[in-house]
A and B are shown apart, each in its own frame.
Chain A
Amino acid sequence: MEKNTRRKFMKTLGASLGVAGLTGGTSLLSSCNRVETVTGDKIHLLTSSGELVEVDKSQLKPADMPSLTENQKRGRKGLPGKSWVMVIDLAKCRNARECMKACQNHHQLRPEQHHITTLQMQDSEDTAPYYMPKQCQHCDNPPCTKVCPVNATFKREDGIVLIDNERCIGCRFCIAACPYSARIFNWFEPRDADKYKDVTYNIEANVPQKKGTVSKCLFSADRLRDDKMPTCASACPNGVYWFGDRNEDAVTNGTTNETVSFSKLIKDNAAYNLMDELGTKPRIYYLPPKNRTTPFEGNIEEHHS
């Protein structure tokens, strides 16, 4: 049984592009039921790969999509039996920034907003600089969810830290509490707010974004539900990201689709957690930037670790 689901998971990962899961709500779709001929009425839809597409109303068929409350309920619960982890191989990162771009498309982010960002790092004066993709670490002892006054950000069973932007009051305490600066705020109307205004909120993608609420990386929880890799992992051309289930002890590379043992990968490569001295227990493991595949070409800005 367990083996079966794993195989199924791997298979669908292989064909990650293609099927476009609609995130439209029931109201939108029930209205489509009645339309059968080409009407010329166009509707904006969000595909699971994060593209906003325009389709004719007649092309729509009702899908089994949950209502907003249903979506929020199952979004809070998570995927049963899973325990998601990510491994980021710093030796492979060439600062291509495809992850950043894909992520911004998926999550309706403005150019200055990042769920994931590639930082130029240098640990101390004499050590080699390197690129480090950084997003929410999905900590097992999350400082952010502790301080939320309304339970708008929470940690679910499968380890993902999520935000319900229908409940967030915008106090930004979680932003202050996060030592990784992983959280962002919608200071203005989000990007393409007009296009997204009729789309039903999907808590697992935090889309549509909402002015005055907090957002951050969610491990593409909506794509995981469809057995797909997180957007950043799939978009990376350099094989930086490994993603998988700790319970199955398997992680799959987002670029090569190679699957390896999670525990072996982190043991063999001396993986570490970011600022583990803070006791946050991150779910993202970094493989040290040794034997880097390309020279560092950025310029290190003044910073501290």
Chain B
Amino acid sequence: MNKIESPEESRKLLDKIVFDLTRSIVKNDELTRFWFFILIMFAAVGLWGWGIQIDKGLGVTGMRDYVSWGMYIANFVFFVAVSLIGFLISSTLHLLNISWSKPISRVAEQVAIAAVALAGIIIVNDMGHPDRLLNVFIHGRFASPIVWDVSVVMTYLTISVLLFYLPLIPDLALLRDRMGDEIPKWKMKIYSILALGWNGNAKQYKTIYHAMRVLMILIIPVGLSIHTVTSWLFAATLRAGWDSTIMGPYFVAGAFVAGSAAVIMLMYAYRLRYGLKDYFEDIHFNQMGKLLVFVSLLYLYFNVNEFLVPGYKMKAAEGVHLLNIFVGKYALMFWSVQIFGLILPIILMLFKYFRKPLPLTIISVVVLIGAWFKRFIIVIPTLEHPFLPIQNVPENFHHYSPTGIEIMITLFSFMAALLIITILAKLFPVITIWEYAEEKGIDKKYFSEQPKN
């Protein structure tokens, strides 16, 4: 940390940082309103679809007795996966004292909160009786992986919100003290309430550092648990394709891939939209690119294990399942996901050029789409090939293809996640101001000062 000696210099730099990092809050142009309109409209259409589903029954989906888990569950797994990046970046990298990750941690927490909240909604939407949700608490059986999943997902959401909120408190105080007419009154009021009377003395900082450290350590086992337990929803069954002991680490590795891609996309969006070129710098993209390569290689390793070992043996039911995804109905999807979503990105990102902001963001988009379809391949083909033959049922029981309602509701989930992220970005700075300023060598004592001009 290089201390800036002159107070004037410090004040000037702080003013600039605050000005830049509050642009997302202040900005309220046509595009912002249009974006909100689009998000809310799609979200509303999805809710309408959900209404139809509740009225008519889950039969409005493409699911039937054999493929009884479909796109909703695949989407649920996807969102749980994406949420895992929160703990990797804002906790693990922090604890390892990796400084480049600091400006990214709030972006990672935004992604984590939005994704895990949506995962919760999607799973309720998949229930035949969402009105009986409370039964999980009233009659909860501790032996069921679903109860474990509900417990850890809620714990993870709680810790993620706290990890988002705690470092935000000094920022809120700073906004409360420094901002004026450019921010609407109701927002200022929210800042003032949420700042909890922060005045920036040493004792308060000590408390917040301590609390954050505890949370960062706590979230590691919880974060690993949520996706491991989610993988056990499959691994705890006897079905070919799911009955595998590496599902836990396989899911966790895949989650880091999906989450890193999502964070890169969001970083690029903020950089472009809110003019944060000097904050989400090329070096951050470069490092995120390296992180993505690393976790992708890890995921590739688990993929080799997951498919090569059973593929070598070709046990009866396992063999049918594998042939179906290697050369059968799902071959195109499977190989596209593996090649364009994993192998090709790894090779490209080894070159420095592809870790520049725009190329890396494009790669991330492809990786994230691949990650979504990968979940589809994990969930559906296994169910299409049970141990016993499918007979004496209509044709649509044999195969699964999602219906319009399912697509509508899945689209809703994406839009709702983006809505949460947008609201967070419109309310709070996307980078932790005080942490960033301190990193730049500005003393804490300047934070609560009113700007001179």
Contact = CB atoms under 8 A, between A and B. Distances in A.
A126 B320 CA distance: 19
A151 B397 CA distance: 27
Interface string B134-172: 011011110111110010000000000000000000000
Interface in B34-60: 56-59
Given A134-B388, A187-B58, A188-B59, A170 B65 contact: no
Interface in A224-267: none
Contacts of A134: 388
Nearest to B389: A303
A215 to B, nearest CB: 10
B316 A304 contact: yes
Nearest to B135: A150
A27 B127 CA distance: 31
Interface in A124-181: 134, 143, 146-152, 167-173, 175-177, 179-181
Interface string B102-144: 0000000000000000000000001111001101101111011
Given A169-B127, A171-B127, A212-B58, A181 B391 contact: no
Contact of B57 (A147, A171, A176, A189): A189
A270 interface: no
Contacts of A213: 128-129
Contacts of A304: 316-317, 319-320, 385, 387, 389
A147 B146 contact: yes
Interface of B: 56-59, 61, 63-66, 68-69, 126-129, 132-133, 135-136, 138-141, 143-147, 150, 233-234, 236-239, 316-317, 319-320, 383, 385-394, 397
A305 interface: yes
Interface stretch (A28-36, A39-47, A71-79, A114-122): A114-122
Contacts of B143: 146
Max count, chain B CB within 10 A of own CB: residue among A112, A121, A176, A188: A176
Contacts of B139: 150-152, 167
Interface string A170-206: 1111011101110111111100000000000000000
Given A169-B129, A185-B58, A114 B387 contact: no
A177 B237 contact: yes
A275 interface: yes
Max count, chain B CB within 10 A of own CB: residue among A112, A189, A280: A112
Contacts of A146: 143-144, 236
A82 interface: no
Contacts of A184: 65
Contacts of A180: 387-388
Given A118-B392, A187-B63, A169 B136 contact: yes
10 contacts: A118-B392, A119-B391, A167-B135, A169-B132, A171-B146, A172-B128, A179-B238, A187-B57, A212-B58, A214-B128
Contacts of B236: 146-147, 177
B68 A170 contact: no
B64 A187 contact: yes
B128 A150 contact: no
A181 B65 contact: yes
Nearest to A305: B316
A176 B239 contact: yes
A301 B389 contact: yes
Contacts of B59: 187-188
Max count, chain B CB within 10 A of own CB: residue among A146, A149, A275: A149
Contacts of B57: 186-189, 211-212
Nearest to B242: A176
A176 B237 contact: yes
Q: Nearest 10 CB-CB pairs, A to B?
A: A170-B128, A212-B128, A303-B389, A187-B59, A149-B146, A149-B144, A188-B59, A150-B139, A175-B68, A150-B135
B374 to A, nearest CB: 19
Nearest to A275: B387
A143 B141 contact: no
A109 to B, nearest CB: 11
Contact of B144 (A168, A173, A186): A173
Contact of B129 (A117, A168, A183, A189): A168
A15 interface: no
A121 B129 CA distance: 35
B68 A176 contact: yes
B136 A150 contact: yes
A303 B147 CA distance: 35
B117 to A, nearest CB: 19
Contacts of B69: 172, 176
Contacts of A19: none
B123 to A, nearest CB: 8
A38 interface: no
Max count, chain A CB within 10 A of own CB: residue among B133, B233, B397: B233
Contacts of B65: 113, 175, 181, 183-185
Contacts of B146: 147, 149, 171, 173
Given A112-B397, A170-B127, A173-B233, A185 B238 contact: no
A278 interface: yes
Contacts of B61: 187
A169 B388 contact: no
Contacts of B237: 143, 147, 176-177, 179
A146 to B, nearest CB: 6
Given A147-B145, A185-B128, A187-B59, 17 more contacts: A100-B392, A112-B393, A117-B391, A148-B141, A149-B136, A150-B140, A167-B139, A168-B129, A169-B133, A170-B58, A172-B68, A173-B144, A177-B238, A184-B65, A212-B127, A303-B388, A304-B320
